[in-house]
Amino acid sequence: MSKPTSRIVKVVIDERSVIRWSPEIEHERNVAIFDLIEGNSFALKDGPAGPYELMMGLRDSTLVLEVKAYLGEQEILIPVRSLRGVIKDYFLICESYFSAIKGATATRIEALDMARRGLHDEGAKLLADVLETKVSMDAGTARRLFTLICVLHVRS
């Protein structure tokens, strides 16, 4: 049985897009990449068939997705402003969540975790909507890509 071609098989984060990562952020990035490669559904709508290699980076205030396949490549540019609000809110709720796990009540931690997951889902949906004319992907793939986009925006 052959592997499906509508999938990402390799992910590279453009290191020039980030200032530096803490060990925790590096771990998040590695887990997100591993999870993405292990299970995803991704296909260019008007481009070469996969499997695909994906390079993600930031150029000025634009998210750059370079999608490479055996028979060609395609660059997808996404203005960061289309995702900025949900990324900012996601970081704020994550900060509250990580502060809370140091001593807040279980109810408070659970509420913040639910809010964090909700914002993550919202970001993934927004990303899928922004890319819908260029890429076909499932919800899990959109979630993992949103995680990697957030990693690109971490500044410490």
Instruction: Encode pLDDT of 14-73 as tens digits.
Output: 877 666 667 777 788 888 899 999 999 999 998 888 899 999 988 888 889 999 998 888
**Residue 60 maps to a domain:** yes
Q: For residue 51, say if its preceding peptide bond is cis, omega within 30 degrees of 0.
A: yes
Question: pTM to 2 decimals?
Answer: 0.86
On whether residue 115 sits in a domain, the answer given is yes
Residue 1 included in any domain: no
* Full domain range(s) for residue 127: 8-153
Count of domains observed in the chain: 1
146, part of any domain: yes
149 inside domain:
yes
Q: Is residue 55 part of a domain?
A: yes
Task: Please state whether beta strands 8-13 and 72-79 pair in parallel, antiparallel, or not at all (unpaired).
Answer: unpaired
3 in any annotated domain: no
pLDDT, one tens digit per residue, over 65-85 is: 999 998 888 889 988 888 989
d(CA 74, CA 108): 44
Domain-located, residue 133: yes
**Which among 25, 68, 23 is positioned nearest to 50, based on CA atoms?**
68
User: Residue 141's closest CA among 149, 111, 116?
Assistant: 149
